[in-house]
Structure 1
Amino acid sequence: MNGPRVLITNDDGIDSPGIQLLASELAKHFPVVVAAPARDMSGSGTGIGRFDPVAGVDLHEVELDSGVEAYSIDGPPGLAVMSASLGAFGDPPDLVVSGVNAGINTGHSIIHSGTVGAALTARTFKGRGLAVSLAQSDPWHWDTAVTVAVDAASWLLADRPEPRVLNVNVPALPLDQVKGIHWADLDEFGYFRVANAQIESRKLQLEVGSSNDRADPASDTALCHGGYVTLTPLSTVEPAPFPPIEASEIWAH
């Protein structure tokens, strides 16, 4: 198949149903390669892990039901994206699609998400990135998220200048019950609310808390929980404007 090349990755691991279903559907539209962590690497952000250039990293070819070319990597999704962008699996991808993540990635805490981190890593290599996450439910509505992902991927590959990275969150609903799609701001609050250092037991515990009750109505968290697909354009590491002072003022020597 000719056309833009797509790399599919995630942070839940290559055995996750989200990536398996996503690969099967995207392969109907684009040439795809799957390269994903061998195990759950949630919370890895844009990290590539500890890498020994001599020993390398374990890599295994994996058979997917869809027959898509696929590899498991003993490392986080950022490493998979960096490797693919440097030519490890053929020509660099035009688009990295990361997901479908089991659980939403909203608010400023997305900086810690391996799902979002993979999409941002694509941008650092001059590519495009799409992170897709699905709100939790029983049963999971994977089909809804996969349909949204294919549409968003097609849109990003339509040779438009911006955005280069898109964070998408999908509500826990059948496709015909989704209320619509919205551009959304990042929720002010993150995933964790309280940190507790228990010195005697030598444990650091982080308390997870819902921000639904405090979320701005225009935020990704509120809109997604309200039944909407949310779209949030993201940028990667870029220098901020220089302050209007001489750099020598900062150096005391």
Structure 2
Amino acid sequence: MQVLVTNDDGIESPGLSVLVAAAVRAGHSVSVAAPAREYSGASASLHGSSPDGRLVVEHRRPPGVGADVPCVAVAAAPALIAYYAAFGAFGPRPDLILSGVNRGQNTGHLVLHSGTAGAALAGALHGIRGVAVSLASAAPQHWDTAGAVLQPVLAWAVEHGRTDRVLNLNVPDLPVQGVRGLRQAPLARLGAVQAKVEASDGAVRLTYADVETFAGADATPDEELDPDAPGPDGPVTDSVLLAHGWATLTQLRAPADDPLPDFAGWDGPPPVA
């Protein structure tokens, strides 16, 4: 299987080599096309630096990736890289996109803003399987744990993954032996945010006064939790499980229509109110 590895942390991130190693170990043909700079929070942005209508591409090798793996740095957001890859811009069209390993978790409805997930979802729009991988620390210490958890998930994705869906994998930043297991989990709801907008001198700044965290998401990995017991609001969410030391897997779907059964529409000009 042809696998494209990308991310939103940029070509210099050590997380790329973790995904490359996992894919190579599984016997896949691997190439890397990652942003030339950091694009965290880019979601599915199609931003790219193209002075004459073409993306700027240079041969650069991420740390820890062998010379036998084709690698390029692209002056573009990860979703645009996935979009171009679907048309063979960086070699053979990929059968699967591995995105990450991201510095920091991508859980809850905030996954909407993730460039890591955005790259995989952009691939899904073109019928390409995808796995987005994140490690729950802004300064990860256990990259190898992400690789170890990914290995069986990657095998499952190859065998059972849908081309119109994406797997979102979050891994606690713990030693491999400290991970409690892996559970499928629903997305946590977005916390309630109290914010203040300040406008002056033609600029606007948003400052956060208080953030209500996900219920249970401030736990520590050594706290006990039954991952299969529903809480008062339903199944235990990805954020809570991750905080308790569990790796989580959530299937995401690319944008799709949702019919309105009670809306009839009309014929002719718009009706006058």
- Distance in 1, matches of 2:171 and 2:188, equals 15
Aligned to 2:170, what secondary structure does the other structure show?
strand
Structure 2 unmatched ranges of 5 or more: 218-232
Say if 2:262 is the partner of 1:226. Answer: no
Q: Deviations over 1:122-154 (max 9, x none)?
A: 110011111100011766110000122232122
Mean alpha-carbon deviation: is it higher for 47-56 or for 176-185?
47-56
- Distance in 2, matches of 1:25 and 1:230, equals 18
Q: Deviations over 1:153-173 (max 9, x none)?
A: 221011455883111100121
- Distance in 2, matches of 1:230 and 1:163, equals 20
Say if 2:197 is the partner of 1:197. Answer: yes
CA 1:218–1:162: 2 relative to 1, 3 Å? farther
CA 1:121–1:205: 2 relative to 1, 3 Å? same
- Distance in 2, matches of 1:146 and 1:7, equals 16
Tell me what 2:228 maps to.
Answer: none
Tell me what 1:131 maps to.
Answer: 132
Instruction: Report deviation, 1:252.
Output: 3.1
- Distance in 1, matches of 2:76 and 2:138, equals 28
Instruction: Report deviation, 1:211.
Output: 1.9
- Distance in 1, matches of 2:167 and 2:105, equals 14
Q: Which has the larger radius of gyration?
A: 2
Say if 2:35 is the partner of 1:37. Answer: yes
TM-score by length of 2: 0.83
CA 1:140–1:251: 2 relative to 1, 3 Å? farther
- What code does the residue aligned with 2:196 have? N
Aligned to 2:177, what secondary structure does the other structure show?
helix
CA 1:244–1:51: 2 relative to 1, 3 Å? farther
Whether the 8 Å contact between 1:96 and 1:122 is mirrored in structure 2 is yes
Whether the 8 Å contact between 1:14 and 1:20 is mirrored in structure 2 is no
Tell me what 1:245 maps to.
Answer: 263
Say if 2:12 is the partner of 1:10. Answer: no
Aligned to 2:196, what secondary structure does the other structure show?
strand
Q: Deviations over 1:199-221 (max 9, x none)?
A: 23633224384624455671110
- What code does the residue aligned with 1:89 have? F
- Distance in 2, matches of 1:196 and 1:10, equals 32
Instruction: Report deviation, 1:232.
Output: 0.5
Instruction: Report deviation, 1:194.
Output: 3.3
- What code does the residue aligned with 2:79 have? G
Tell me what 1:122 maps to.
Answer: 123
Whether the 8 Å contact between 1:23 and 1:66 is mirrored in structure 2 is no
Whether the 8 Å contact between 1:97 and 1:119 is mirrored in structure 2 is yes
Q: Deviations over 1:64-103 (max 9, x none)?
A: 4422211101010001101111111232111101000000
Tell me what 2:108 maps to.
Answer: 107
Say if 2:216 is the partner of 1:211. Answer: no
Mean alpha-carbon deviation: is it higher for 145-154 or for 214-223?
214-223
- What code does the residue aligned with 1:126 have? G
Mean alpha-carbon deviation: is it higher for 223-232 or for 90-99?
90-99
Aligned to 2:259, what secondary structure does the other structure show?
coil
Instruction: Report deviation, 1:56.
Output: 0.8
- What code does the residue aligned with 2:11 have? I
- Identity, % of aligned positions: 37
1:63-74 equivalent positions in 2, closer than 5 A: 63-64=61-62, 65-67=65-67, 68-74=69-75
- Corresponding pairs, count: 249
Whether the 8 Å contact between 1:195 and 1:204 is mirrored in structure 2 is no
Whether the 8 Å contact between 1:137 and 1:172 is mirrored in structure 2 is no
CA 1:11–1:166: 2 relative to 1, 3 Å? same
Whether the 8 Å contact between 1:99 and 1:115 is mirrored in structure 2 is yes
- What code does the residue aligned with 2:134 have? S
CA 1:160–1:148: 2 relative to 1, 3 Å? same
- Distance in 2, matches of 1:78 and 1:160, equals 20
CA 1:232–1:247: 2 relative to 1, 3 Å? same
CA 1:139–1:112: 2 relative to 1, 3 Å? closer
- What code does the residue aligned with 1:211 have? T
